[in-house]
Structure 1
Amino acid sequence: MWNRLQSPYAGLPVLAVVLVALPLVFTNPYHYDVAIHILINAVVAVGLNLLIGYAGQISLGHAGFYGLGAYVTGILSGVYGWHPLLSIVAALIVVGVLAFVVARPILRLSGHYLAMATLGLGILISIVISTEGWLTGGPDGMIVPAISLFGWELFGETKWYWVMAALLVLAVWLALNLVDSPVGRALRAVHGSEVAAQVAGVNTSNYKVLIFVVSAVFAALMGTATAHYSGFITPDLAGFFHSIEFVTMVVLGGMASTYGALIGAVILTLLPQLLTGFDDLEIVIFGAILMSVMIFMPRGLVPTVAARLRREG
């Protein structure tokens, strides 16, 4: 039984069924809104897991790409009157080009030097968004128009839920295919030993740049979706603590596990909502839960549970 479930693709139909069934238990727009934010974070975490979990390259500035995607589409559609779909494509291109330009010099670093470099990049993007008020609205934020096509407007929690659900399934499918391809094997080789990978003929620099760009575009895509869904964006989207949340989702769920990143996003997005009734104890309980998980499950939730099921099977 366990052997049949070992294929990573076996989880895709399960994910699709869960996403289709969830609206059956939603009773108000708030439930849809929470689910949408879970889906947004899950896509970003799946993309970031490719960089951290499989390639072994830390990034503490991914919220910068997330926020930049939101602001590029917001500026082009809200200020310059571009069609939202064109502005989304432009945002992805801008973020992809920026990630490509900075990736090669940044990814020459490793360890805490790489962490500090990516942290600095994220902070720089956040500062630019906050200070260039003439274009971005500054700390006050800016309004972003809704997406419309041939008279049909993408507005409301129900419509956005299905769009985000489709994006998550697509993101998971793309991530699984990439991991199962020669690129994925090269990334695991880089993670295991970059020197050994180079000796084996792997162009480690190119693969690291590639996965950095891919993960940045994942984040930017969900930034654009967040902008048009909420209709209003602020510089907090690109904030440092948002980057830490994304990294924590990957680590909590289990690095080098696509479904682990997804589960981590679900937990870290949903848990604060469940703890709101504890008032001042909310942060304490939240921290205690995270600390306990990392102490007793250092590999993350999904890899730990999977290992136990394999032993029992």
Structure 2
Amino acid sequence: MTTSRYLPLGALAAGLLVLPWLLPNSFYLDLAIRMAINAIIVLGLNLLIGFAGQISLGHAGFLGLGAYASAVLPTHFGWPPLAAMLAGMALTGVLAALVARPIFRLKGHYLAMATLGLGIILNIVVRNEAQWTGGPDGMPVLPFEVAGLTLSRDWHWWWLVSALLLLSVWMAQNLMDSPFGRALRALHGSEVASRGVGVDVAGYKVAIFVLSAMFASLMGSITAHYVGFVTPNVADFFHSIELVTMVVIGGMASVYGSLLGAVLLTALPQLLATFEGWETVVFGAILMLCMIFLPKGLAPTLAARFGKGGQ
């Protein structure tokens, strides 16, 4: 990664550092924390959709796995929160690896339907296993405590998610500059040509799917502990579509587009609250106009306008 590539990351770090001091009250800090959480999830999803060209319409299911691992294991089995979080990531990674090869033999809308079905199955499981998950009503999540330190204030969560966001952006940029990232771009362009030059197409698809799923599981756990409560809505179909929409609006195959899409679509429902009864209509109209006039997403379009790369 060249020096010029570090400048946006440095600007992001500076912005995250000063932002809490500029916010007028705790409501806006809470909103900023949710933006950062969504940005990390969407960044992981964009690695799969934007860079590798593989669709996932059930990604919220992996988010739910992480959230419920952090709720169920400490509550029912007395696990430490950090161990439960890591176990949720491991379980999610194993599940993603098991289903990835059969799923990614499919293409186009068949692949989309398969990932949708996976997400629906995971959502049904957490709804039906009421004795463990609380069913449709959900369940409380114990506070996150590590080495005697409990994250109990919004400031604590802000510094944690800010550090995770910076780390995620740095990892994603370096990953895309690596041979692994170039292989992902190649199979996105043409799987046939990629195979012709020796790229293990199936292996790379599985690897990026597992990585993206574990991103989601981690942030599902973070969200569960931050909110203090988890319901099956975290893993439902509409949440998956919301995440994909953030990827598309921000800009596919754009690291900073992921952040921009997450920030805008997390804030937009709050901004539209004044349109009583018409929020969904206005929201849909804004998305439609973005897709018509900014088909490549906000970040790539703005980057092209000002003569810079979309990363």
Q: TM-score range by the shorter chain?
A: over 0.9
Counterpart in the other structure of 1:202: 199
Partner residue of 2:153 out of 147, 150, 156: 156
Partner residue of 2:41 out of 36, 44, 49: 44
- Residues of 1 paired with 2:54 and 2:147: CA distance? 43
- Residues of 1 paired with 2:89 and 2:110: CA distance? 27
Partner residue of 1:261 out of 236, 258, 263: 258
1:246-266 Cα distance to aligned partner (Å, 9 max, x none):
000000000000100110000
Counterpart in the other structure of 2:137: 140
Q: In structure 2, what residue type is equivalent to 1:154?
A: L
Report the count of equivalent residues.
307
SS at match of 1:145: coil
Offset of residue 283 of structure 1 = 1.5
- Residues of 2 paired with 1:152 and 1:186: CA distance? 42
What are structure 1's unaligned runs of at least 5 residues? none
Is 1:35 matched up with 2:32?
yes
Query: Residues 81 and 146 of structure 2 are in contact (CA less than 8 Å); yes or no, is this contact kept in structure 1?
Result: no
Partner residue of 2:182 out of 154, 167, 185: 185
Counterpart in the other structure of 1:79: 76
Q: In structure 2, what residue type is equivalent to 1:31?
A: Y
Offset of residue 278 of structure 1 = 1.3
Give the fraction of aligned pairs with identical amino acids, expressed as a percent.
59
SS at match of 1:59: coil
Q: How does 1:167-182 map to 2 (within 5 A)?
A: 167-182=164-179
Counterpart in the other structure of 1:237: 234
Q: In structure 2, what residue type is equivalent to 1:242?
A: H
Counterpart in the other structure of 2:7: 10
RMSD between aligned alpha carbons?
Answer: 1.2
Offset of residue 77 of structure 1 = 1.0
- Residues of 1 paired with 2:92 and 2:292: CA distance? 36
Query: Residues 106 and 114 of structure 1 are in contact (CA less than 8 Å); yes or no, is this contact kept in structure 2?
Result: yes
Offset of residue 157 of structure 1 = 1.1
Offset of residue 287 of structure 1 = 1.3
- Residues of 1 paired with 2:86 and 2:183: CA distance? 29
- Residues of 1 paired with 2:28 and 2:174: CA distance? 31
Is 1:217 matched up with 2:198?
no
- Residues of 1 paired with 2:124 and 2:215: CA distance? 22
Q: In structure 1, what residue type is equivalent to 2:167?
A: L
What TM-score does the superposition give when structure 2 sets the normalisation length? 0.96
Query: Residues 9 and 176 of structure 1 are in contact (CA less than 8 Å); yes or no, is this contact kept in structure 2?
Result: no
